[in-house]
Amino acid sequence: MSVVSTHPTDRMVDDDHVGYVAGRYRSGVWSDQWTEVGRCAEHTFTAYALACTCGWRGPVHPPTPHGQLACHRAWTFEHGSRAASPTGIGCRLAARGR
């Protein structure tokens, strides 16, 4: 499982939010939270995106180590910080595409 946030201080308010790097297969289907995209064969994915178990998915990045790093940064500065807010409202809005 390619979990984005593993440091104890980065834990989410509840278990509904676990960030991971999703890979987009050539068919257009995105990998799930149990796929370790960095360990898959080269050219398995056409893109990477940060994803959350709540259903939210971030912007698309190239399937490179830099793209993976961009996904980790997105968790820290975008969705992860919304999910950790006391109300979690930012996360719910993001999951709806707002």
DSSP string of 6-54? -SGGG--SSTT--EEEEEEETTSPBP-TT--GGGSPTTSEEEEEEEETT
pLDDT digit string (tens) for the chain, length 98 residues: 445 543 333 443 356 678 889 999 999 999 999 999 989 999 999 999 999 888 888 899 999 999 999 988 887 777 655 555 555 544 543 444 43
Region for residue 21 given its phi and psi (left: phi exceeds 0; alpha: psi -120 to 50; beta: otherwise)? beta
With beta carbons less than 8 A apart as the criterion, state whether 19 and 87 touch. Answer: no
- Single pTM value for the model: 0.69
Distance CA 37, CA 13 (A): 26
**Domain residue extents for the chain:** 8-95
* pLDDT attached to residue 89: 46
* pLDDT attached to residue 65: 92
With beta carbons less than 8 A apart as the criterion, state whether 37 and 23 touch. Answer: yes
